[in-house]
Amino acid sequence: MRRRSLLALLLTLAALGAAARPLTAQRTARPPLHGRHWMAVTGKPLAATAGSMMFTKGGNAIDAACAMLAAVTTMWDVLSWGGETQALIYHPGLKKVIGINALGVAPTGATAEFYRGKGYRYPPEFGPLAAVTPGTPGGLMTMLAEYGKLSLKDVLAPAIQMADGYAIEAQAANSMESNKARIKQWKYSKAVYLPHLGEKREAPEPGEIFAQKDLAATLRKLVEAEQTALKAGKSRKDAIYAAYDRFYKGDIAKEIVRGVQEEGGLFTEQDLANWKVKIEEPLSTNYKGIEVYKLQQWQQGPALLQALNILENADLKGMGYNSARYLHTVYQAMSMAFADRDFYYGDPAFAQGQPMKGLLSKEYAKSRFAQINASRNDPNVKPGDPYPFEGRTNPMQAQLNAWTVLPAPTNLPRSGQQDRLPPTETTDEAFKQAFYSGTTSIQAADEEGWVISVTPSGGWIPAVIAGNTGVGLSQRAQSFVTAPEDGPFNVIEPGKRPRVTLTPTLTLKDGAPHVAVSVQGGDSQDQNLLQFLLNITEFGMTPQEAVEAPNINTFQMRSSFGQHESRPGRMLAAESLPFYVRSELRRMGYTMEYEERTSGPITAILFDRKHRTMWGAASNHGEDYGIGW
């Protein structure tokens, strides 16, 4: 017995020692992408091609990103033109990172009382009452006008060609077919998504030419507005904003509102006219010499900064890559950061006294790290109290004291490989689909020094299409709550932005761009991005190794979708996780689930300052693709 125990110990130590070494020069499923002049990486091959076309026209990284954004919203890559766009831009002239907030807002009449009166604890997942105002068109045109070089006509040209008809890929076509029962509830959606009504397969077939004539007309109206303004002597920038005004204040806006109201939605023309893109200062932290930037607390990005601050107190490299102790420590840090997200984050334009300074302080992180039990999971992690770290008293102490997790319902069907899960800890497929909802990713960079990371989303299949515009509406209102006890800063109000999961990332090293990265996957996004950054910083991986590397997901936070449930102690890990690590994690109190791949597709660009080149990466988990030169 002693020999067997000793042998097991030696094998474990040997494995951990190997894991602790830098994981360089590993074979990857996809080759790393190298470029000297520019790079474009996004969620679909055709969209990456659209980005590359802008560089050949003399455009910069912002032009390329806008062309990729236009393309993916035309391809229904988990978003549409009525969704939302968030971005971080490195401006080489100003030598600073700029935030783009192009998230829509709750429309007139979208009050907590309205939804509770209809029996909703949270706004619905689908339909016209799930919609916030369109943000992506405004975000695209603002970024292009302020930081791009090309015309809107140039940037929208690939998307217009696609709207006229492109060979649709299987992912989108099959999603239309599988969601056709819900799609048939909405007049204009049915006409677009289901061109073969009455046949056995009513959606397009993979490879079929999929045309969207209404959307093509809408995009041409934007170009028409720009070109008319240019002929009238307007500057390039003002001409693009003329197109912006046509979308939000002109005939396009009128048709969006008419179509939404016909389906039972709440939009008014004033809602669209009053909405503005915000150009804002991002938040940041320093992790071992790397400046990590995220958008403000109207989205979940600061949770990654909090988790890095907590983990800075641990010897992660010494624990060994993906050892039980390492995964446990990362899981606990994420649980704490996301508990704070669930309680304290929300639209800062509507909040007074959000404690972001305290939440992002190194001293608060140390206090949170000290609460980690090194040997066992805490399924009851609650939000902390950052107010004392700002010299204030928590004004919401009573709500904080009453905060609980929202446990899973019982007796739900299981999915994936699982280790001895009691019925109350099963993960149903609907919950998992909601947890990972939406989002694509876009990265672009050029030799002038422009860098951009974008996570657009909203309007995914099945979306309500707004009248005869071809614009699919966002479903992002579901990320609101209707009662303060479910998140005091995120209660729905007209004109307010929901606290969303969409989270681009930029990092700087020695004041220069270091990494641009984002990922698909709802509430898992900052979990996967956190581990990507640790893979590079702590374990010396290349970007392609880091995007393909196995990681974990926690479901302990409240989901931002559906019924906002949580799964305390639940961990999703890769099937490749060794048996001894699995066993140790179970002993630590985790319930385990395994899948071949454990993150959404990650896209990234890393800047090699030694060689003055760029490394591009797109994980092998989806259809993401990059092109460099």
Given this model, what pLDDT does residue 438 score? 61
Helix (H) or strand (E) holding 100: strand 96-102
Inside any domain, residue 141: yes
pLDDT tens digit string along 477-507?
999 999 999 999 999 999 999 999 999 999 9
Average pLDDT over residues 219-232: 98
Whether the per-residue pLDDT at 49 is higher than 60: the answer is: yes
Higher pLDDT, 426 or 371: 371
Inside any domain, residue 331: no
Whether the per-residue pLDDT at 6 is higher than 80: the answer is: no
pLDDT band at 3 (very low <50, low <70, confident <90, very high): very low
Inside any domain, residue 340: no
Given this model, what pLDDT does residue 620 score? 85
Given this model, what pLDDT does residue 429 score? 62
CB 107 within 8 A of CB 499: no
Lowest pLDDT segment from 11-25, 305-319, 585-599? 11-25
Higher pLDDT, 421 or 34: 34
Given this model, what pLDDT does residue 338 score? 97
Given this model, what pLDDT does residue 434 score? 55
pLDDT tens digit string along 595-621?
988 877 899 999 999 999 999 999 887
Lowest pLDDT segment from 8-12, 208-212, 326-330, 569-573? 8-12
pLDDT tens digit string along 251-277?
999 999 999 999 999 999 999 999 999
Given this model, what pLDDT does residue 192 score? 97
Inside any domain, residue 346: no
pLDDT band at 23 (very low <50, low <70, confident <90, very high): very low
- In this structure, what are the phi and psi dihedrals at residue 30, rounded to the nearest 5 degrees? -115, 145
Inside any domain, residue 332: no
pLDDT tens digit string along 68-96?
999 999 999 889 999 999 999 999 999 99
Inside any domain, residue 404: no
Whether the per-residue pLDDT at 418 is higher than 70: the answer is: no
Reference 343, options 295, 286, 287, 403; nearest CA is 403
Average pLDDT over residues 148-171: 97
Reference 602, options 538, 524, 537; nearest CA is 524
Whether the per-residue pLDDT at 337 is higher than 70: the answer is: yes
Mean pLDDT for the chain? 91
pLDDT tens digit string along 193-206?
999 999 999 999 99
Higher pLDDT, 567 or 258: 258
Given this model, what pLDDT does residue 427 score? 45
pLDDT tens digit string along 427-483?
456 656 555 556 789 999 999 999 999 999 999 999 999 999 999 999 999 999 999
Domain limits at 200? 47-278+454-486
Please give the structure tokens belonging to residue 144.
Answer: 């292009």
Number of structural domains (the chain) is 1
Helix (H) or strand (E) holding 443: strand 442-446
SS3 209: strand
SS3 304: helix
Percent of the chain with pLDDT over 70: 91
Cβ neighbours for 627, distance < 8 A, ≥ 6 positions apart: 33, 39, 40, 41, 48, 49, 51, 52
Whether the per-residue pLDDT at 153 is higher than 90: the answer is: yes
pLDDT tens digit string along 284-304?
999 999 999 999 999 999 999
Inside any domain, residue 610: no
Given this model, what pLDDT does residue 496 score? 98
Inside any domain, residue 197: yes
Reference 548, options 506, 596, 585, 582; nearest CA is 596
Given this model, what pLDDT does residue 440 score? 85
Q: Are strands 570-574 and 553-554 parallel, antiparallel or unpaired?
A: antiparallel
Given this model, what pLDDT does residue 77 score? 80
Angle at 550 between CA 544 and CA 554, to 5 degrees: 125
Whether the per-residue pLDDT at 526 is higher than 50: the answer is: yes
Reference 343, options 292, 396, 289, 290; nearest CA is 396
Percent of the chain with pLDDT over 90: 83
pLDDT tens digit string along 90-138?
999 999 999 999 999 999 999 999 999 999 999 999 999 999 999 999 9
Given this model, what pLDDT does residue 599 score? 78
pLDDT band at 216 (very low <50, low <70, confident <90, very high): very high
Q: Are strands 570-574 and 591-595 parallel, antiparallel or unpaired?
A: parallel
